Structure 1
Amino acid sequence: MLSRKHSIEGKEPFGEAAELFDAIGADAATKLAMVAGDLSLILDETGKIVDGTANLSDFPELQDWIGRDWLDTVTVESRPKVMEMLAGARKGRTQHWRQINHIGSDGEVPVRYTLVTFGDGQRFIAFGRDMREMAELQQRLLQAQQSLERDYLRLRQLETRYRLLFELSAEPVLIVDAENYRIREANPSVHALLGAKPGSLTGDRLTGLFSRSSREPIIAFLGSVMASNSVSPIEVGRAGSEGNLTLTAAGFRQHGKQFLIVRLSSGTAPSPPVAGSTLRVLEAMPDAFVLADSELKIVTANLAFVELVEAASVDQISGRQLGDFIGRPGIDIDLITGQLAKHGFAQNVGTVIGAREGFDGEPVELSAVRAGDDDAYFGFVIRPVGRRLRDLPPNQQELPLSVEQLTELVGRMSLKDIVRESTDLIERLCIEAALTYTSNNRASAAEILGLSRQSLYSKLHRYGLANTVSEPD
């Protein structure tokens, strides 16, 4: 960025300036003026543009500026700067770079200028440097920073939800370092089960919680868990007391290190109702899978669905209605069941998951199939698409609703609601485009939209955009 150091103030002058530059003719001076800036303007003592040089593809308005006052070619906000620069040049003051915005055919053109006096103080030459590329880089940097801040906020929210679920879960859960089997975290249910003081288990070795005869099997079990996802739970003896505990574990990686999530329960581990390679494949699927009965009550689900609905375990959601988690009430589930009843399957249905009061839900795609006649079961595969939509560059997004997508709303909404939603969508897109075009200047956006500023503010609040833009200084 150009700053005070780009002026002549404080710089050592040429030692033989008179000898070196006395012979410079008009041709050499012209070349110097042409290469010193992207745009160079010759001004008389009144500030009128006498002549100029620039690449006309970058500054097509240059020919129209010649013969006009410099003040008349810039925006209202830049006029005080031009007047200060001209006044300083007349008084022989050292000039520094100042950003001036010219009025161009395609909008404002930011240029940084400095003035140099020549010809016995009767004329000035304004050397200008085009700042459009710098402004574009700054805008991209700002967008990247805002994206990082949104992702950071989302991660903080996820961490808060995880911490709340971890602390309030009735199931005893520990987070264990897979390298040395030391406990990194243990929720209150673990301390209550083992009769330990709150927070006293952190840093202890996991094997120390169990009897000596159980420690070698535990180490072998944990090693198998890190290599496979289909290791059955084991029963282990408690240290210093009678009774056995059932130990279940799963491995995961975080920040390049391996950890184990270990669950404890008293009694014998129930055998899984379904076994075989099919179950292992479904459990390991990256997409969420749910098995529901004929009443659409959840029978079982894989870990991806448990994480998607932010539940603590499969047991927490088993027996609940699928509609409690998927779709908008009274709309999406009815549409999906209608397609299943008619065709036996539903494919790539757009819906949401986790919708509740004040939150519209996370966008997902759902495919489903029906198996059986009388005692039917339904299988659902769910794929989140919200992150993919958010990562699209704002200025390259296509309209979220095409004609085909609008027709898919038939049967899910009334015609009146579809028309209203389409109108709201177009209005919001126009407001967002106006804000982008004016670099989030609300006053300018209201002007090009033909709205009053108060009306624009009202619509910003209506569409939830009030907190995403800020009034420039």
Structure 2
Amino acid sequence: MVQFKAPEESLGNLNAEAMGSLIAAAGDVAFIVDAEGVIRDVAFNSAELAQEGSEAWLGHAFLDTVTKESRPKISDLLEEAKQGQVKRWRQVNHPSPGKPDIPIIYYAQQLDSDRTIVVGRDMRAFATLQQRLVDVQMSLERDYARLRDFETRYRLLFDMTSEPVVILDAASTKLVEANPAAHRRFGWTKGAGGRAFFDKFDGTSKAELQQLLERVRSVGRAEEVQVQSSEDGSEFLVSAFLFRHERSLLFLVRLSPVAEQGESDMLPKTRSKFVKILETTPDGFVLTGPDQRIIATNSAFLEMAQLATEEQVRGEPLERWLGRSAVDLNVLVANVREHGSVRLFATVLQGEYGMSSEVEVSGVQVVNGEQPCFGLMIRYVDRRSQGQQPQSSGDSRASGELPRSVEQLTDLVGRVPLKEIVRETTDVVERLCIEAALELTGDNRASAAEMLGLSRQSLYVKLRRYGLGDLEPEAGD
């Protein structure tokens, strides 16, 4: 510590009040301690310390105001001041009832044989910062440990997998890293980074690989491709994934040797072909979730719905395009839920720009975890008359029943006036439609009326007219 060069001249006229103000301003707290170590006067520059009840220190021995482990430090502090030795700041703790101890660092200066000035600074803010620093360091250590665990698992998985796996730079398609299986398969040595990966495959396979990586780069995913090695003719199924590392984009490329695969290992290849067939089939295909919102479609459905991309339909409700009304889709899904599958459900598909087409829908339910998914195959149909074969004997009119087919109606020509044939034709169509609606809705007359565009009362009138079903009204009608 460097002292004033001429304190007698520069501070000689300083009165006691000014001196007290300077001592109090030098720290957060200042004591005047007598020769026996008792605090005779105290000044606070910190309102927070004053509120802690520290004014009660006045008149007590300095040693009694600190914790037990801090008393040797106070004794050394006062002794060094009396002996005129090199002085040091010493940190001690004052007990605070019901609260953490108060850390304060003190400096002591002997005034005369009876008085010692002790100046202290509150270290709680500094202690809080230290604790935060420790907490942050511990958190970082935990994060580092977790990252090291992840890296170890990744490295073990990367090294122990029996299939060749390589990492390529997305910009140059150069080799960045390869696992031991890839080193063995392609004869690479360690430190093979920077090699041209495509050189290990024939010309057609190079083009397939380039297209695969381009699709992954543009849309984030792509189907597996089969390639052939230019060295020994061995074949691989190749899949690729794009990921980011720091500021670089990398490809993780997995190569499954076809020649070494058993029957179960060929399943991914078979399923890949199956998916391709499903995507290119001329019939529309839709995969929906339990809420009938579209998950995936093929291109044929997009063409039917007059749409360009799958993104336009993904997440949208299927009833926006399929069904005469919401009842159609509800009936279809209800039957699929109950029976597991439905065949040739007749309905209408509405295009985005107003085109309407008669279609047949076959559906199946697949349980995916706890939630079912629904796969629907949609096919255009022409207008076909459905009915039973003509009755083998007699006129349908003679039996009191309506004709059930076009053949029966044409048999009436010459025996019944045209006006009656037309009327009966209308009755045939109306009865068949009502029967079909009741069958599709599981004999739910309210849903059947909505499907047919009739009121419930009108439907009951027609049911009585044709003698169809139980004529007792449903509950709530």
Q: Shorter chain as normaliser: what TM range? A: 0.5 to 0.7
User: Where do 1:49-448 residues align within 5 Å?
Assistant: 49-54=39-44, 55-59=46-50, 60-105=52-97, 106-118=99-111, 120-194=112-186, 196=187, 199=190, 201-267=192-258, 269-272=269-272, 377-379=367-369
- Judging changes above 3 Å, is the alpha-carbon distance between structure 1 residues 191 and 20 closer, same or farther for their aligned structure 2 residues? closer
Q: Contact between 1:250 and 1:260, CA under 8 Å: does it hold in 2?
A: yes
Counterpart for residue 47 of structure 1? 37
Q: Contact between 2:167 and 2:178, CA under 8 Å: does it hold in 1?
A: yes
* Aligned: 1:32 with 2:42: no
Three-state SS of the structure 1 residue aligned to 2:37 is coil
Q: Following the alignment from structure 1 to structure 2, what is the Cα–Cα distance between the partners of residues 56 and 221?
A: 71
Letter in 2 for 1:172: P
- Report how many residues are paired: 281
Q: Contact between 1:174 and 1:262, CA under 8 Å: does it hold in 2?
A: yes
Q: Contact between 1:188 and 1:198, CA under 8 Å: does it hold in 2?
A: no
Q: Contact between 1:245 and 1:266, CA under 8 Å: does it hold in 2?
A: yes
- Judging changes above 3 Å, is the alpha-carbon distance between structure 1 residues 372 and 82 closer, same or farther for their aligned structure 2 residues? farther
**Please, which runs of 5 or more residues in structure 2 have no aligned partner?**
259-265, 280-284, 290-335, 341-364, 372-477
- TM-score, normalization: structure 1? 0.54
Displacement after TM superposition at 1:262 (Å): 0.5
Displacement after TM superposition at 1:163 (Å): 1.0
Q: Following the alignment from structure 2 to structure 1, what is the Cα–Cα distance between the partners of residues 370 and 145?
A: 31
Counterpart for residue 380 of structure 2? none
Q: Contact between 1:230 and 1:280, CA under 8 Å: does it hold in 2?
A: no
The ranges of structure 1 where at least 4 consecutive aligned residues each deviate by more than 4 angstroms after the TM superposition are 273-281, 370-376
- Judging changes above 3 Å, is the alpha-carbon distance between structure 1 residues 237 and 157 closer, same or farther for their aligned structure 2 residues? same
Structure exhibiting the larger radius of gyration computed from Cα positions: 2
> RMSD of the TM alignment (CA)?
2.9
Q: Contact between 1:52 and 1:62, CA under 8 Å: does it hold in 2?
A: no
Displacement after TM superposition at 1:197 (Å): 5.2
- Judging changes above 3 Å, is the alpha-carbon distance between structure 1 residues 150 and 259 closer, same or farther for their aligned structure 2 residues? same
Q: Following the alignment from structure 2 to structure 1, what is the Cα–Cα distance between the partners of residues 22 and 287?
A: 77
Displacement after TM superposition at 1:191 (Å): 3.5
- TM-score, normalization: structure 2? 0.54
Three-state SS of the structure 2 residue aligned to 1:146 is helix
Three-state SS of the structure 1 residue aligned to 2:42 is strand
Q: Following the alignment from structure 2 to structure 1, what is the Cα–Cα distance between the partners of residues 47 and 150?
A: 53
Q: Contact between 2:226 and 2:237, CA under 8 Å: does it hold in 1?
A: yes
Displacement after TM superposition at 1:167 (Å): 1.3
- Judging changes above 3 Å, is the alpha-carbon distance between structure 1 residues 144 and 82 closer, same or farther for their aligned structure 2 residues? same
Three-state SS of the structure 2 residue aligned to 1:128 is strand
Q: Following the alignment from structure 1 to structure 2, what is the Cα–Cα distance between the partners of residues 115 and 136?
A: 25
Letter in 2 for 1:143: D
Displacement after TM superposition at 1:242 (Å): 2.5
Displacement after TM superposition at 1:241 (Å): 2.8
Q: Following the alignment from structure 2 to structure 1, what is the Cα–Cα distance between the partners of residues 215 and 88?
A: 70
Three-state SS of the structure 1 residue aligned to 2:85 is coil
* Aligned: 1:19 with 2:9: yes
